[in-house]
Amino acid sequence: MKQLKVAREQQVAVFGESGSGKTVLLSSFYGAAQEPAFLKQSLFAIDADDTAQGRKLHQFFLGMKNAGATPPTNRFSATKYVFSVKRRPRAMEKGKKAAAEELRLVWHDYPGEWFEEDPSTPEEVTRRAETFSALVGSDVAVLLIDAQRLTDNSGEEERYLKALLTNYISHVSRVRDELLPDGQRLVRFPRVWIFGLSKADLLPDVDVTTFRDLLVEKVGQEMSLLQEELAAFVEEPEAFSLGEDFVLLSSARFEPGRIDVGHQVGVRLMLPIAAMLPFSRYVRWAKALRTGGKVASELVKYAGSAITFLTALKLPGKLKIFTLVLPFVADPLLEFSTAKIQAAYDTAVARHDFLAAVLLGFRLDLDRAVEEQVLVESTK
């Protein structure tokens, strides 16, 4: 009998100016997942669907690890990377043979130069809008703030931050006119926008709360303006958040002549952020949109797909009440303690339920990051 293949695809879009660390972040994410230490302790392996792309990212990672060389910049190139998260051959191998379950991550890398330089021709305006439109299927977008630029502007951080957010606002406004010529708003669009501090190792005394407070203090008005610009893309803009979630990201520790790739902060969170951070948000928004409609249906579809993997478990305690009757279901993960989610995770591992174990493990990763002051997660 042919086995059922279960696939769940999450998409994340990463935005940042040139030099903000997007390529280093991506290379570190993929390269670290190929290291024996990761594979030994992880339930899953991460493979690039495009072998050549994966080899290049791994090459960049090894160049940092062994030669202290940073990856070359890739100017004006908007690239999509697709990764498959698969059960390791020896992970959870006991028990009955499982279905060919799979989780996929699509990572969109948006050209940083497009935030800094005006388009030179109408054709370039159109190309930028078309590239931006390719990202509308993403679940989460990450806006990078460069710690090196903050360090260079120490004491006057608002100079850099205001210029950066003004560039974001101008670019978004320009592509919106091209992308939505008839003013028809989108049902499918990244509804969770996170600020990430890239190269966070340069600011070792800054935790994620300090990072959040710096942005709110220095550029709170610009954050609100950017939120308005992006919310104008989406139908039901109340189901949208920007500047409510923050994360520290350090791809490695950079020292003179050496790059310590074993010292990472937040890089492994990229998968949990894409796969599970929007989950409870979508549940709450779907409940709030009691009038129903296309947006509520889209949110239900997203949240329901995650619950589908979790309902198959005989979970401990209240976690057994998972149901697909949305939008009236209670928030099924955040209302439970980390200890109960840990118990559910242990049950999933014991039952060899791969996807449920991975998703619950991601929820635990997010909880741990909040506890360690690496992540601020909105409760709205």
pLDDT band at 72 (very low <50, low <70, confident <90, very high): confident
Provide the pLDDT for residue 145. 97
Residue 290 lies in a domain: no
Least confident of 33-42, 75-84, 268-277: 75-84
Strand partners, 376: 246
What is the per-residue pLDDT across 101-152, written as a single tens digit (0 to 9) for each?
578 899 998 888 777 777 777 777 777 777 787 777 788 999 999 999 999 9
First to last CA, the chain: 45
pLDDT band at 354 (very low <50, low <70, confident <90, very high): confident
Across the range 243-251, mean pLDDT stands at: 96
Identify which of 21, 118, 116 has the alpha carbon closest to the alpha carbon of residue 73.
21
DSSP 20: S
Please state, in angstroms and rounded to a whole number, the distance separating the CA atoms of residues 224 and 214.
15
Across the range 37-41, mean pLDDT stands at: 91
Provide the pLDDT for residue 6. 44
Specify whether the CB–CB gap between 53 and 152 falls below 8 A.
no
Phi, psi dihedral angles at 314 (to 5 degrees): -95, 85
pLDDT band at 93 (very low <50, low <70, confident <90, very high): low
Residue 30 lies in a domain: yes
What is the per-residue pLDDT across 2-19, written as a single tens digit (0 to 9) for each?
443 445 788 899 999 988
Domain holding 99: CATH number? 3.40.50.300
pLDDT exceeds cutoff 90 at 66: yes
Would you tell me how many other CB atoms lie within 10 Å of the CB of residue 334?
A: 17
Across the range 81-105, mean pLDDT stands at: 70
Provide the pLDDT for residue 299. 65
Six-digit token string for 341: 């989610």
Residue type at position 57 = L
Residue 361 lies in a domain: no
Residue 80 lies in a domain: yes
pLDDT exceeds cutoff 50 at 87: yes
Residue 333 lies in a domain: no
Six-digit token string for 100: 């060919």
DSSP 267: G
Distance of CA 60 to the CA centre of its chain: 21
Six-digit token string for 122: 């109408």
Number of domains in the chain: 1
Boundaries of domain holding 95: 7-275
Please state, in angstroms and rounded to a whole number, the distance separating the CA atoms of residues 354 and 15.
31
Provide the pLDDT for residue 296. 61
Sign of the torsion formed by the C-alpha atoms of 44, 50, 52 and 57: negative
CA angle 62, 68, 71 (to 5 degrees): 65
pLDDT band at 254 (very low <50, low <70, confident <90, very high): confident
Provide the pLDDT for residue 314. 45
DSSP 234: B
Across the range 331-358, mean pLDDT stands at: 76
Residue 124 lies in a domain: yes
Residue 257 lies in a domain: yes
Least confident of 70-74, 192-196, 271-275: 70-74
Identify which of 111, 115, 131 has the alpha carbon closest to the alpha carbon of residue 123.
131
What is the per-residue pLDDT across 187-232, written as a single tens digit (0 to 9) for each?
888 889 999 999 999 999 999 999 999 999 999 999 999 999 999 9
The mean of the pLDDT values for the chain is 82
Provide the pLDDT for residue 52. 95
Residue 285 lies in a domain: no
Across the range 224-244, mean pLDDT stands at: 91
